[in-house]
Structure 1
Amino acid sequence: MTDTPSVKMSRWQAFREFAGKVARLTAPYFSSEEKWKARGLLAAIVALNLGAVYMLVLINEWNRVFYDALQNKDAEVFWRELGRFTYLAFGFILVAVYRFYLTQLLEMRWRAWMTSHYMDRWLGHQAFYQLELQRHARGTDAPPDNPDQRIAEDMNLFTSYSVSLSMGLLNAVVTLLSFVGILWSLSGSFAFNFQGQTWDIPGFMVWMAVVYCVLGSVATHYIGRPQIGLNFRQQRFEADFRHHLVRVREYSESIALDRGEPVERRHLGQRFQAVLGNYLQLINAQKRLTWFTVGFGQAAVVFPFIVAAPRFFSGAIQLGELIQIASAFGRVQDALSWFVDNYSSLAAWRATTDRITSFEESFQSLAAAPADEPSAAAAGTEGGRADALSIDRLDLALPGGVALLGATGLSLRPGDRVLLQGPSGSGKSTLFRGLAGIWPWAQRQLQLPADFASRAMFLPQRPYFPTGPLRDALAYPEPAERYTDEQLRQALAEALLPELGTRLDETDSWGQKLSGGEQQRLAAARALLKQPRWLFVDEATSALDPAAEAALYERLQALVKAQHGALISIAHRPAVAAFHNRQWTLVPGDGAEGSPRYRVVSA
């Protein structure tokens, strides 16, 4: 059955599309600030590959002279050629060692650049947060899944496969060009009679090598094609399994308190079964391909001897020439079989390329800011006023596009202490996200104080603390060196954590080490240390007892007063209301189609 023109065209288009993906992922590094180092290394590797092929040509010629000397029992030539082989072998070893070293160096530098480049893009402009929001909005199967794995593993695989496969292809092409002429001149012609006429095929072994390898390449593609999709899924399943293991470690206390070990074991087992199930399919596909490729390679060992043996036994060629023919055929066959030998690597490379490309496309979709999902940075206007935060209009939607919350005509002035209240799920925390500019589904018309970006601070209910010294967790995200030990200890003491003042240099996972109440007090210590002017508190004292909560609010209230700023809090406890002089309340909307579910009313 032959392919239709449309099928052939679609395959050609698929190849062009894949080549374009590789080019778009490759070009930035070789045009970056490291371009001259990268290009220099690449040129050196190409030169060494050419040198390696040249050494093989010299060794092929050496085979003929050496084995002819054996057949002729010529001791003088035998010993002379052994000495010559020493120089050839040393030259080949030298080329091979530095080709390996420079190839690994290029892969390492390219990986370092790509990793740094994508980490900057992932962490820049809250892209890591917005990508997660969009993925959850579209379903957990939507890309990009497991960006940590794409940065940590896929970048490494892409660079190593790109360099090794491209240099392997170059080596195969140069080897083919170098040895096909040798094989053509040595193989002679093949004559046969057909329908009373004598036919003569010059360079018969060359044509046999071409036919042999073309048939092998076509068969390899059809046998090994399933590996492309299997490799793509394997990387995803492995990352999902590893991600859930990390979550069990992060939430170990909650899982232990809930006696959730059987559930987590079942979930981990399901994910691991997906890993094993896909891997079993992958190794079965690789087994089928290995059956063919190993048989293909073994047959190629004896094939040139079978074809050239009649000429040797007739005396037309000597042993050295027979060995040279077999060696040249082997080199030509190896070059033409590059596709066969590297199909599994090509399948893994394509899967890795597709994963990084989808990661890249996710950044581009953020930058494009579709009309139905406007980004906070692109939608609306923001001005600067030195004295107040004014909300002319703030419309927030859910990921599916349903209008959630609307606010107009609100202001936050120095001296204000606003309590934000409303039903659970009405969008109080989302309002904070909209004011911070990190909620993608927002239309904003705000007048922000001139110092808002540098002097505003948000205290969430569950704060984040990096693993490391306590002083770094307290000063985060600023460097701890910006503050003296006395300042750090004073902030801890004011946040009711004086006992931690002696542990500033202790390294630990503080998000797991401290209790919920201690974590909230440590977050309050950050605010007391950094002295923000505009402070947003989202249930940040919910884990504290009433006395501790009152003490912290007194200090936070005094802080914003001293800074001539304002405080806005989300809280449900009635006692917290005493520390505020204004109230914003989320009330149900009018129910009209397209109108928000809730609106903010100032009191």
Structure 2
Amino acid sequence: MTTGHWDRETVKGLCRLTSEYWKSGEKKSAFLYLFGIIILTIAAVYMTLLLNDWFNEFYSALQNYDKEAVYHGLVRFTALAFGHIAFSVYAYYLQQTLALRWRRWMTEEYLSRWTSHQMFYRMEMFSGGRSDNPDQRISEDINLFTTRTLSFMSGLLRAVTTIFCFIFVLWTLSEPLSFTLGGTTFHVYGYLVWTALAYSVIGTWITHKVGHRLVGLNFVQQKLEADFRYAMVRLRETSESVAFYHGAPEERRILGGRFQKLVANTVYIIRKQKQLSWLTNSYGQIAIIFPFVVAAPRYLSKSISLGGLMQVANCFGKVQESMSYFVDVYSDLAEWMSCVERLLTFDEHMKDLRKETEKEEGRLHREEGRELALSHVDVGLPNGKRLLSSISCTIHEGEKVILKGPSGSGKSTLLRVLSGLWPFAEGTLVLPERKEVLFIPQRPYMPMGTLEEAALYPGREGSRADLEYWMRECGLSQWISHLPEEGDWGHVLSLGEQQKLAFVRIFMTKPRWVFLDEATSAMDEETENRLYSLLVRMPGITVVSVGHRSTLDKYHTRTLQVREGTVL
């Protein structure tokens, strides 16, 4: 897909992106809303057609100084204007409601795909920068896509309906234009229609030539805006680490560099929009006087009255305005096209990554059993390099095993294979049921919400009394009174306290198998000893730890060494 140029595949992708909602379980209500929008839009255009007839009657009454007809015209105008306003308002209301329902459906669909099969993790680990800022694509791009798509559809419907209604009136109002060329007299019927068409086509073509680069510039702008915002969010999340390094000047340089790129692209957009504004404003201003110039000869020759002139001018303006629809919305259309490309890129990346992951996962045969068994398992890297070769070992239920080895030897990657996060492996793997297994990373995840929800994550089962008991046992007594409070606990709690809370999760969840990856690295030895003592005494639990400390050895009955690309 090339930015700024739409090929056949992009158009197919847009059709698929648009049609999915209209084939979903909400299609009946969606089509009812759409039908209501169509009816109200056509009704609003019909009111405009009646107002066009009113122009002739009212201005003719003014020309004839007909007081009664003037007052009657004002009353009629009030009724027609109110009808036009009412139809337009409710059409807009239904359009916005439908856009919200469409956005809600698309957001739920994309969130489901993004969070299923650990896609959010794999996109960050293995994307290679192909899909940047998925959060922006789901939150902003979907909103822009649904709102603008319905807005363009509604505007196009209004334009087409207006052309259909007014073009016949304009044709009727157009007397044949006669001129002599080379001794031959030519008659052009409906010359006002052809004039409006020519004016609109020329204006649309020039607008496209001037503004087509806005699609690519808007595509880049959305990426730069998201990158700049993400860099600031990342600084906020890692504020303590940056402060310890006194890295504020470097962070300022990085943020400033990203912002300068954003500003430079914005300058290009402003310049291009300036050119487009010159064109569209000039086009619009000329359109005001153009119908009078075209129709004035007939009025000056007294072929039509003042009311007829105003009716011709208004009718010509409506036809020309409708034919020039894309001139008026070109800037918004360019932004919408860049949004469509971003959504299609995101969509294609998730599909490709899913296929690639399924292909890689197919090389590792997984079975469920009462023990953990690896048979000739090879673990690789995304670039194809082999990290671990021909691993064959068995861990029986109830064992306490520690996995050791140099940093970077593949210990944590092996745990990722066991958890199903790392697809680059092959061989045979027997694992207990997923519901019986709990993995504890070195830095536990702390969700937003109450401290109680963070302690029970990812489930919410367990009594308050049990939770408070294990909070005390794990050295978190001072936080018991804060359990109902909401906060960003990843920043409020120290890493050591977060690791203690991870042990609370173990004791509350009571898994049969627990895998710990440097899960006590931020604790003092006394706390580590107390928590491991509680852990290994849990009835029927199997413990597999990754660690470097020799103080952990006494809590494990068996040691596996990762050495020279294999496990011994």
Bin of the TM-score, shorter chain as denominator length: over 0.9
**CA shift at 1:523, angstroms?**
0.9
Aligned partner of 1:599 in structure 2 is 566
**CA shift at 1:212, angstroms?**
0.9
Equivalent residue pairs, number: 566
Q: Distance in 1 between matches of 2:283 and 2:241?
A: 57
Q: Distance in 1 between matches of 2:7 and 2:406?
A: 55
**CA shift at 1:453, angstroms?**
0.4
SS of residue paired to 2:406: coil
1:205-240 deviation per Cα after TM superposition (whole angstroms, max 9, x unaligned):
111111111111111111001100011011111111
Q: Distance in 1 between matches of 2:21 and 2:281?
A: 37
Q: Match for 1:219 among 202, 206, 223? A: 206
**CA shift at 1:294, angstroms?**
0.6
Aligned partner of 1:418 in structure 2 is 401
Aligned partner of 2:547 in structure 1 is 571
Q: Distance in 2 between matches of 1:477 and 1:415?
A: 24
**CA shift at 1:15, angstroms?**
5.4
Q: Distance in 1 between matches of 2:41 and 2:103?
A: 22
Q: Distance in 2 between matches of 1:171 and 1:89?
A: 17
**CA shift at 1:408, angstroms?**
2.9
- Does 2:329 match 1:342? yes
Q: Distance in 2 between matches of 1:398 and 1:110?
A: 40
**CA shift at 1:369, angstroms?**
2.2
Aligned pairs for 1:455-534 within 5 A: 455-479=436-460, 482-534=461-513
Alignment gaps of 5+ in structure 2: none
Q: Match for 1:381 among 356, 365, 375? A: 365
**CA shift at 1:444, angstroms?**
4.4
Q: Distance in 2 between matches of 1:505 and 1:207?
A: 72
Q: Distance in 2 between matches of 1:122 and 1:379?
A: 23
- Does 2:44 match 1:52? yes
Aligned residues of 2:377 and 2:392 also touching (Cα < 8 A): no
Q: Distance in 2 between matches of 1:209 and 1:534?
A: 77
- Does 2:100 match 1:133? no
Aligned partner of 2:227 in structure 1 is 240
SS of residue paired to 1:438: coil
Aligned partner of 2:145 in structure 1 is 158
Aligned residues of 1:391 and 1:407 also touching (Cα < 8 A): no
State the identity %. 43
Aligned partner of 2:175 in structure 1 is 188
Letter in 2 for 1:459: I
SS of residue paired to 2:108: helix
Q: CA, structure 1 residues 444+476, in 2 after alignment: closer, same or farther (shift >3 Å)? A: farther
**CA shift at 1:384, angstroms?**
2.0
TM-score by length of 1: 0.92
Aligned partner of 1:121 in structure 2 is 113
- Does 2:14 match 1:33? no
TM-score by length of 2: 0.97
Q: CA, structure 1 residues 15+93, in 2 after alignment: closer, same or farther (shift >3 Å)? A: farther
Aligned partner of 1:594 in structure 2 is none
Aligned pairs for 1:173-212 within 5 A: 173-212=160-199
Alignment gaps of 5+ in structure 1: 1-9, 589-597
4+ long deviations beyond 2 Å: 13-19, 373-376, 406-409
**CA shift at 1:443, angstroms?**
2.0
SS of residue paired to 2:537: helix
Aligned pairs for 1:86-105 within 5 A: 86-105=78-97
Q: Distance in 2 between matches of 1:189 and 1:406?
A: 88
Letter in 2 for 1:391: L
Aligned partner of 1:587 in structure 2 is 563
SS of residue paired to 1:443: strand
Q: CA, structure 1 residues 374+427, in 2 after alignment: closer, same or farther (shift >3 Å)? A: farther
Letter in 1 for 2:543: L
SS of residue paired to 2:430: strand
1:458-504 deviation per Cα after TM superposition (whole angstroms, max 9, x unaligned):
1111111112111000001112xx21111111121221212222221
**CA shift at 1:14, angstroms?**
3.5
Aligned partner of 1:538 in structure 2 is 517
SS of residue paired to 2:431: strand
Alpha carbon RMSD of aligned pairs, Å? 1.5
Aligned partner of 2:423 in structure 1 is 440
